[in-house]
Each structure stands twice: as structure tokens, then as C-alpha cells.
Amino acid sequence: MIQGVGITHVLIVSTLMFFIGIYGFLTRKNLITILIAIELILNSVAINFIVINKYLFPEKINGQIFSLFIIAVAAAEVAIAIAVVIDFYRINKSIDVEHGETMKY
Amino acid sequence: MDWSYTIWIPLLPFVGFLLLGFYGRKLPAPVPGWIGTIGVFGALVLSYITAYNYFFVENTDMLFEPIKGFEMLWMNFTDVLQFKMGVLLDPISVMMMVVVSTVSFLVHLYSIGYMKGDPGFGRFFVSLSLFTFAMLGLVVATNLFQIYFFWELVGVSSYLLIGFYYEKPSAILASKKAFIVTRFADFFFLIGILIISYYTQTFDFLTLNGMDETSFTSLSASSFMGMSVLAWALTLAFIGGAGKSAMFPLHIWLPDAMEGPTPVSALIHAATMVVAGVFLVARLFPMYSHVDGGAVLHIVAFVGAFSSLFAAIIALTQLDIKRVLAFSTMSQIGYMMLGLGVSGLEGHEGLGYTASMFHLFTHAFFKSLLFLGAGAIIHAVHSNYMTKMGGLRKYLPITHITFLIAALAISGIWPFAGFFSKDAILDAAYMHNKIYFWVGWFVAGLTAFYMFRLYYRIFWYEDRVYKHTPHEAPATMTYPLMILGALSLLAGFVFFYVWPFAEYIGPTGKPFHMHINWILAGISLGVALIGIVLATIMYKKKNDIPDKVSKAFGLFYKWTYDKFYFDEIYMFVTKKIMFGIISAGWTWFDTNIVDGTMNLIGNTTVKSSNAIKKLQSGRMQDYAYAIVSGAVALVIIFVYIWTH
């Protein structure tokens, strides 16, 4: 707990991170950038867990364990996502998301 | 004696059919043919044993009572409505099973050579075995339901075999035509069966034939247009039989049925299936002669005599050899119908019945021989038209001799088979009605003329140079020809003098003596000889007499050549009048309301899915956008609800 910094300040930061991530996910064409945007979303959620745990239920550690869990999942997810991107590159000679539009009507 | 083995007579070809149907089409070329042939050969052996036992062992007193060799309950609805399947043994069914299995066996054997190299070899034998099973099941039927069941099965296998060359549009049209015309007639047969079984409470032939005139009268008190209900029912059943037997005016399918392979024409459209109508009338003959004092038999006789004359006239001018034979078949079946129509029931009165069955018996041999000979000729020349033939006697010696025997037999020359049976029919007609006799007499002359026209145009007429030298058919084809040739030569003689037909087969199973009336036989033999001599003058060597004659007949010649425009009349009636006028309202309702509703539902689905399918764009960012905006919208809605 940082002196003079309220829960709302931290929540505003995490909300901003979340929507920046959403924005990046929706607008970027490069797969790596989209991956980074997903990481932003995940991290904003992890921050939320820690902050709410710390400010509202200081005697418990559930939120911290959840954020550790999210970090572990994010690590695994990045490994898979990078593998997908490499395969995608091998097929399309590009990592532009516009080349991944074949699965449609 | 235990007769239950007779059930295997129809079942053996059925086993062959199942084996071939499941495994046969993968086997290499001659094997399916031999499997089918062996199945039919089993039926042949069993029918000969049955015939021997029935005629010479069981009934040594020469009174041939019907025996139910086998019967089982197939479908049991109520105490009255029961469908049974079984084997009825009486003189005509035993005779028919011998004819069917003999001709079917020879045709199977012949087809092994004839169909060699055809891609549909296995399929052909599957259908042929199915047909043999159905036909044997038909002739041994114990009741009206069973005969109707197998009646439709022979119709289906006939349809399959006419349309065997399904790449040819004409074959498809012919098979459809045969099926629709016979099915149309079968509809009347079905109504007839329903009426008969409604009034008599039975399907069983023995019960129906066992009733006498008074019990029929008491059963059908109501009458319509001067005939009792049962007489109408029998007339309807006869219409069914006329459709199957190509009697006028339901004959139009038979000439077109020649689109099928030639062995099929020999088996189905000459020897067996087309006589099913005659067999039906013969099977119910005591009933026919009891109901209304035989009123329906007058119709049978008239239709038979007219068809016989009509077909013989058309056969004079046709150029396709198989069509000549088809019209000749129709004409000969007309004879058989005439024989039944003029027959009485007791003693020598039953001569017409016996003669008709005798003619059926001999006709099966010489007509299938003619068709198989035609098959060998077509095999050699690769054409159906007699204009492409001539002088073939040097190339096809066996076919030539056997064809000549068959032509003499059908023309009724002593001592060939046709003489005895045709003479017996004419004799019976003379006893009944002199006009029928003179019609039959004239037809005998026409028959001799057109058969020898055919014979000379194929084997003599002119020597021509063939692109491929014609050669005699292989042994599997010539042996059946020779066997049938011997049968055509001997069947009449043997079954007149050695085992007189009339002493075994009569309408009541009681024997009578059949003898030749030499005056009548002499004048019919005379007219046949005149026909042959005329044909010899006109067609033995190429000359211009035929052209002069056809010019002299002028318009009549053209009408005959075009078969009196019956196909066109039927097309006009069905297309223009029935489809165009009578059913126009229904057609409108069907295309606009019924189809319209269905189309509306279908089109709406297609259009709306076309409109919304763009949503599935394949861009996952679009999907994510939809999820996010949906989530945001939900949040806004819930916040709004909570705050108010």
C-alpha cells in the first residue's frame, strides 16, 4: 500500500491498460503487436486482482495467488501464440493478420 | 407324397439373385453368368422332377387334382384378411414351371456368350435371376395376393432389363413406357382383386375356382350396366392381364421393349412374362366361365382375336427384325386369348383352354428360338434392320437352320410344333363362332407371310459385302439354339401323339381326347403355304414386286408402317388432353400453391442466410469487436437497470 495513492488511482491505471489492450487488439494488423495487446489486457487484470486484494481484504492472499496464476498462464499462452505466429509466417510469408481470413463462409 | 421341396423351385434362382446381387458385380466376366445359370439349372431339375411326379407318379388315374405343395401364412391381419405364400401344383402351373425354367436356363446359357465383354455383365445376371425367381413365384401362386405380388416383381425386373443400356435415352424411354403402361393396367387388376376378395372373402384360387354358378350369383346381387359386380371385377383383372400380355389397346409398350438386350426379349417379352395375362385368365378359368355364364370370356375372345389380326397386319411392314418378332408375339398371344375366350368348361368343350395352354407351351419354344436367332444375327451384323442384312445363310449356318425351323413352326406347318397348337385353337374357334375361325385363319396366312418375309430378307434376298465378315456365334449361344430348335420341331408332335396334351391339361383336370379336324387343318395349312409362296416370290431374290405392292396399298401401307399411329394417339391423349386440359387446374395448384409454398420457405432461408453470411468474415478482430461491444452494451444496460 503506497501512501497517498487511493484504490481509485490504481484502478484507473488498470482500466486504461485494459482498454489500451482492447484497442490494440482490435486495430493492429501485426500478430506480434496483437499478442502484446493481449499481454496488456492480462496484466491489467492481474493488477486489478492485487489491488483489490490489498485494499479491501488485506488479511487474505487469494488475489495475489490469482495474479501469479495469470502470469503462469500468460507465459504458457505466449509460448503457444509465438509458435502459432511462426507457423502462420511459414504458410503466409507474413505475420499480417489480414492473411488469416480464410476461415469464413 | 411330400411336395414341400417345390418351394425351392422359385427359391433357387432367388438364392442366385442374392449371391449375385451382393457379391456378383465384382467377379470377373463369365463367373456371375455361371452362378446365375447354375441357380436356374437347379430350378430346372426340380421342375422336371415335379412334372414327372405330378403327371406320371401321383395321378396315375389321369384325374389331375390341384395340390398345395407348400403354403405359409405371410401376413395375418384378421381371420379373413390373410396373405399367404405357397406353391400350387396343378396341370398348368407344373407345365408353366417347366416352360419358364427351360427357357430361362437356355437364355441364361445363351447370355453368357451374348453379353461377353459388356461392362454390365454382372448386373445383367442379377436382374435375370430376379426375373426368373419372380416368374416362377407367379406361376406357382396359390392366391390372388401372391400372383399380384410376383406380377409386380416381374414388372420391375422387366423394367430393369429393358433399361439395361441406361446410357441410351431410347432405352430409358422404352423402360419407362413399359413400366407405366403395365402399371396402369395393373391398377385395374388391383381393383379387380379387391372387389373379388371383398365379395368372396377369399384370395385362394382353389376356393374361387371351386364355387359354382349359383354361389357366384348369390354373392354378387348388385349389377352395373348389365353385368354383375364379380363379372366387372373379372373384366378389370383381364385388363391387368391384357396390359401385361400387350393386348390391344395396351400393346404400345411391347415393340419399344425391344430396346433391351436380345436374350431379355426372348425370355421376358416372348416366352414367359407376356403370357402372364393368358396364365391369369387360365388360372381363374372356372371362375371366368361361371360368373354371368362366361360373359367376360366374350370380351377375352374379342380382344384376343382383334389383337391377333391387328398385330399381324403391322408385322407385315416393319423393318426392324426384333419389332417384327414383337408384333408376332402380340399376334400369337392374341391367339391364346382367343383360345381361352372360346373355351367351355366340361369335356371336349374345354378344347379352347387346352389349345391355348398348348400354344403357350409351343410358342415359348419357337418364339424364344426366333429371338435368340435374331440375337445371333444382330451379334454378327451389328444392326437390327433387315435392310442391312441379306445372304446371311452362308455365314451363319446353324442360326439359319434353327431360324427356319422356328419360322416353319410359327407358320403352322406339319409336323412342326405350331401346327398342332394353332390347329387346336382354330378348331375350338370354329366350334364357338365361325367369324373367329376365319379371323384366325387369315392371321395364320399373314403370320406365314411375314415370318418368311423376315427369313428371306435375313438369309437370302441379296448377297452383300459386309464390312466385318459375319461369323457364327460361340458354343454357349449355338447350343441353346439347337436345343430350342429340337423342341420346336418335336414339342407339338410328341405332345400330340405320345403324351396327348389334352389328356393332361384341361380346364377341370379331367382328360378328354384331342384330335385333328383335317378339313380345318387343311385349309389353315393351305393359307400358310400361300403365305410362304407369296413371301418366296417377293423376297427370295431382290426384285421390284414388294415396291409395287406397297405402292398399290398406298396410304394403308404407310399407316401400317407407322403402327396405325397408336403411339401418337396416346401421346396426344396424355400430353394434350390429360396434362393440358383435364389436369390443368391441378397442375396450376401444384406448381403455384404447393411448390410455391415450399419454394418460398426455401428461398427465404437462402436469401436471409446470404444476407447475414458476411458476418462470418474470418477476421477474428471483427469477432473480438462484436464481443467487446456486446459486453460494453450489457454493462451499460445493467448499470442503467441498477441505477433506476
Residue pLDDT, tens place only, B422-438: 888 888 888 888 888 89
Q: What is the CA angle B497-B503-B504, rounded to 5?
A: 110
Find out if CATH 1.10.287.3510 is the number for domain A7-99: yes
Asked if B619's CB is within 8 angstroms of A97's CB, the reply is yes
Q: Is A25 on the interface with B (CB under 8 A)?
A: yes
Q: Which residue has the cell 395352354?
A: B357
**SS3 helix, strand, coil % of chain B, rounded to 5?**
75, 5, 20
- N- to C-terminal Cα separation, chain A: 52
Q: Which residue has the cell 465384382?
A: B26
Give the per-residue pLDDT at B221: 64
Of A38-52, B18-32, B215-229, B512-526, minimum mean pLDDT range: B215-229
For residue B609, the distance in angstroms to the closest alpha carbon of chain A comes to 10
Q: Hey, of B606, B608, B613, B620, which one would you mutate to test binding to chain A, going by the most A CBs within 10 A of its CB? A: B620
Give the per-residue pLDDT at B47: 92
Q: Which residues of B touch A103 (CB under 8 A)?
A: 618
Nearest-CA neighbor of B315 among B411, B379, B438? B411
Smallest CA–CA distance from B611 into chain A, residue:
A105
Give the per-residue pLDDT at A76: 94
Asked if B614's CB is within 8 angstroms of A22's CB, the reply is no
Smallest CA–CA distance from B621 into chain A, residue:
A26
Asked if A103's CB is within 8 angstroms of B628's CB, the reply is no
Q: Is A22 on the interface with B (CB under 8 A)?
A: yes
Q: Which residues of A touch B617 (CB under 8 A)?
A: 101, 104
Asked if A101's CB is within 8 angstroms of B624's CB, the reply is no
pLDDT reading at B638 higher than 90: yes
Orientation of helix B321-341 relative to helix B417-432, angle to 10°: 40
d(CA B357, CA B341): 12
For residue A4, the distance in angstroms to the closest alpha carbon of chain B comes to 30
Asked if A101's CB is within 8 angstroms of B619's CB, the reply is yes
Q: Is A93 on the interface with B (CB under 8 A)?
A: no
What residues form DSSP beta bridges with A78?
Answer: none
**Average pLDDT, stretch B161-190?**
90
Asked if A25's CB is within 8 angstroms of B621's CB, the reply is yes
Nearest-CA neighbor of B183 among B239, B230, B129? B239
**Average pLDDT, stretch B360-387?**
87
Asked if A97's CB is within 8 angstroms of B620's CB, the reply is yes
* B341: amino acid identity, one letter: G
Q: Is B611 on the interface with A (CB under 8 A)?
A: no
Residue A77's Cβ-count burial label (10 Å; 0-12, 13-18, 19+) is middle
State percent of chain B over pLDDT 90: 23
For residue A23, the distance in angstroms to the closest alpha carbon of chain B comes to 9
Nine-digit cell string for A102: 480464410
For residue B598, the distance in angstroms to the closest alpha carbon of chain A comes to 25
Asked if A97's CB is within 8 angstroms of B618's CB, the reply is no
Give the per-residue pLDDT at B220: 67
| pLDDT band per the 50, 70, 90 thresholds, residue B279 | very high
Q: Which residue has the cell 382354330?
A: B426
Q: Which residues of B touch A100 (CB under 8 A)?
A: 618-620
Asked if B618's CB is within 8 angstroms of A101's CB, the reply is yes
Asked if B625's CB is within 8 angstroms of A97's CB, the reply is no
The whole-chain average pLDDT of chain B stands at 86
Of A22, A97, A104, the CB nearest to B617: A104
pTM of the predicted structure, to 2 decimals: 0.79
| pLDDT band per the 50, 70, 90 thresholds, residue B393 | confident
Asked if B617's CB is within 8 angstroms of A25's CB, the reply is no
**Average pLDDT, stretch B103-113?**
89
Give the per-residue pLDDT at B559: 79
Give the per-residue pLDDT at B148: 92
**Average pLDDT, stretch B236-262?**
88
For residue B246, report the phi and psi dihedrals to the nearest 5 degrees: 55, 45
Asked if A101's CB is within 8 angstroms of B628's CB, the reply is no
- Within B460-517, where are the H helices? 475-493, 501-504
Nearest-CA neighbor of B419 among B494, B319, B506? B494
d(CA A45, CA B342): 105
Q: Which residues of A touch B616 (CB under 8 A)?
A: 104-105
Q: Is A3 on the interface with B (CB under 8 A)?
A: no
**Average pLDDT, stretch B41-65?**
86
Domain ranges of chain A: 7-99
Q: Which residues of B touch A15 (CB under 8 A)?
A: none
Q: Which residues of B touch A38 (CB under 8 A)?
A: none
Report, as ranges of residue numbers, the positions in chain A whose pLDDT lies below 50: none
d(CA B322, CA B265): 8
Smallest CA–CA distance from A101 into chain B, residue:
B618
d(CA B43, CA B13): 7
- For B539-565, letters b (16+ CB in 10 Å) and e give beeeeeeeeeebeeeeeeeeebeebee
Of B40-49, B256-265, B344-353, B607-616, minimum mean pLDDT range: B344-353
Of A97, A103, A104, the CB nearest to B621: A97
pLDDT reading at B397 higher than 70: yes
d(CA B406, CA B370): 6
